[in-house]
Amino acid sequence: MEACEGKEKFCQGKKQMLSEGQDSILTQIANEKGQYLMTAYQVLPGITFIYNDAHIQQVCFEERKTVSNDMIEISHCREGRLECNIHGEFCYLTPGDLAIAQTNSISGRAYFPLCHYHGLTIQVDLKKTPQCLSCLLEDVTVSPRAIAEKFCGARGGFITRANSSVEHIFSELYSVPEKIQKGYFKIKALELFLFLSTLDIQQDEWENRICTKSQVTLAKEISQYMMEHMEERITLEHLIEHFHLSGAHLKKTFKGVYGVSIGSYIRNQKMESAAYMLEYTTKSILDIANAHGYDNGSKFASAFRAVKGVNPTEYRNCMAKKAIRNI
């Protein structure tokens, strides 16, 4: 990976390897606003499973710009929202969606609109994978390179909506007992490639879900403005005046990128930000409430509970106990 800023290989956060085992590597990228955890497993030659847990808005993977056409990524969204920027065209993965793309066609900046994303990325190095997977299981006569050619094509990517077949493939991969992980991952990798070999490319949702660069830029400017003024109460009327656009245009553009209304987005982002401060800082609950536009502790507690399911004190205590257990 190349540096985005200074000597860091990731922008918007500091990289740190938390653990390295015989079969997995856990890496963290974190800053004062959030963190991103990647747990990588080498499953088969040229095939790596990476579990993504993001509570941050963006990180950079500059390595994508330099890899060959022989690398593809298969991404499944479990929770949250993931931006797919392929050759400057934007689509968004929602829970259950599946995307396939050439690695070097994907933007080097991973963007999580809701600052919340959980999913699985399967990286495939076509130079290292077997030419045909029948060498691993006799009846799986599937070529990884043929899969890449089928779905990536001229545009470089493919997206399909959540459906029962995709759910069947991926649901079990999020709760695999550690004792059987190594073998189970191999079986699921073969199952996935066999499934993809029969998946109808007419299911491609890319054209139906595309957002223009200007729409994405405007939506992100709205988000950035609200996040920079988190201690204030920003109304739609204020945004209309600030951006000199109609309310209908602002709301439609924003929801196309973030998947939720402007009001819902800022409420949730305030509580996600507050949750991070509760877990990783020693600031008082009242100070955290003030930083997010609440001058009343009880109103903040009520808003926090509506989003996180517990009050701020309970959340902080729960996270502290979890940290102790992980030591």
Each residue's pLDDT expressed in tens, for the chain with a length of 327 residues? 233 333 333 345 677 878 888 889 999 988 777 889 999 999 999 999 999 999 899 888 766 666 777 999 999 999 999 999 988 899 999 999 999 999 988 888 899 999 999 999 999 999 999 888 877 777 778 899 999 999 998 677 899 999 898 999 999 999 999 889 999 999 999 999 999 999 988 888 888 889 999 999 999 999 999 989 988 888 999 999 999 999 999 999 999 999 999 999 999 999 988 998 998 899 999 999 999 989 888 999 999 999 999 999 999 999 888 777 665
Distance CA 49, CA 189 (A): 9
Cβ contact 29:8 at 8 Å: no
* Helix (H/G/I), strand (E/B), else coil: 85: strand
Which domains are assigned to the chain? 14-209 (2.60.120.280), 213-326 (1.10.10.60)
Helix (H, G, I), strand (E, B) or coil at 29: strand
Residue 6: predicted pLDDT: 31
Residue 113 buriedness (CB in 10 A; 0-12 / 13-18 / 19+):
buried
What is the number of other CB atoms lying within 10 angstroms of the CB of residue 111?
A: 21
Q: How many CB atoms lie within 10 A of CB 162?
A: 16
Q: Supply the pTM of this predicted model.
A: 0.85
Show the tokens assigned to 238.
Answer: 């204020």
Question: What's the DSSP call for residue 75?
Answer: E
| Residue that the structure tokens 């808005």 belong to | 57
Neighbours of 323 (CB within 10 A): 11
CB atoms within 10 A of CB 224: 11
Work out the angle at residue 303's Cα, subtended by the Cα atoms of residues 301 and 306, and round it to the nearest 5 degrees: 105
3-state helix, strand, coil in the chain (%, to 5): 45, 25, 30
CA distances from 158 to 49, 228, 274 (A): 19, 34, 36
At what angle are helices 247-258 and 262-280 packed, to 10 degrees? 50
Beta-carbon contacts of 171 under 8 Å, excluding residues fewer than 6 positions away, are: none
* Helices and strands in the chain: count of H runs, count of E runs: 11, 12
Answer positive or negative: Cα dihedral of 108, 70, 66, 15.
positive
Tokens 């999580």 correspond to what residue? 112
Two tokens, residue 198: 């029969």
What residues have CB less than 8 Å from 293, skipping those under 6 apart? 230, 231, 232, 233, 270
